[in-house]
Amino acid sequence: MTADELIASLIRRLELSDLEPEESGGWRIVFDGDVCVDVYAEGDKKIRLETALGPLPEDEYQAERLIRSVLARNLTLLAGGVARNVLFLHPDRSILSMERTEFAENSDEESFAASVEDFVNAAEAWLEFLALEATPLPPGLVMR
């Protein structure tokens, strides 16, 4: 199947027949009311999934602390062989995002839908992790 065919099958499966592509050429699909996934066909063979996880804290110390925690967790996931997603930071906007590339030639409708579901589940796990990491430290507690 081609990238466009797989994306069309996902849109049908989700019963989003009125969904139109964004100006960027991708489709924006919201899952579970809070995970927004942008889906892009990159030629006939590749599909890129992308989601914004959130901005970095404005405070430099808190931003550095968060980045350290994110990198440590990401390395743990990579070492366990379970990560298929790439985390990145938009340098001009300081927004942490996640993306994954799927290859259309290795997918059918079922496997692509399962990959999208796995991506959404990973995004939800990252959002939960980031929410916990963003919890302020109790007064008087200093982390070094």
| pLDDT of the residue at 138 | 59
What CATH code would you report for 3-133? Answer: 3.30.1460.10
The pLDDT tens digits for 24-54 are: 889 999 998 889 999 999 999 999 999 999 9
How many angstroms separate the CA atoms of 113 and 35, rounded? Answer: 16
Terminal Cα-to-Cα distance of the chain (whole angstroms): 52
Q: Domain locations in the chain?
A: 3-133
- What are 81-88's contacts with CB under 8 Å, separation 24+? 83/122, 84/118, 85/119, 85/122, 87/53, 87/126
Distances (CA, A) of 21 to 5, 61, 73: 14, 39, 34
Look-up of token digits 């997918």:
107
- Its pTM stands at 0.87
pLDDT of residue 17 exceeding 90: no
Of 57-61, 83-87, 89-93, 138-142, the range with the lowest mean pLDDT is 138-142
Instruction: Give the residue among 125, 72, 64 at the shortest CA–CA distance from 98.
Output: 125
